[in-house]
Amino acid sequence: KYLKDHLTDLSVVRTGKVKIDIVVFGKTSEGSVAGFRTRAVET
């Protein structure tokens, strides 16, 4: 909800098979790019 309220053009990029890097980012109202990166492990 927070990301949808504050960013436009939201995207999620996911790479890897077991150790998965996940990047979520979007555009701020000022035109900058903002987001976060995290890692998940699938077993």
The string of pLDDT tens digits covering residues 17-32 is 999 999 999 999 999 9
Average pLDDT over residues 2-31: 96
**DSSP 8-state code for residue 31:** S
pTM equals 0.79
Residue spans of the domains in the chain: they are: 2-41
The CB density around residue 7, as the number of other CB atoms within 10 Å, is: 19
**Among the listed residues 35, 40, 8, the one whose alpha carbon sits nearest the alpha carbon of residue 24:** 35
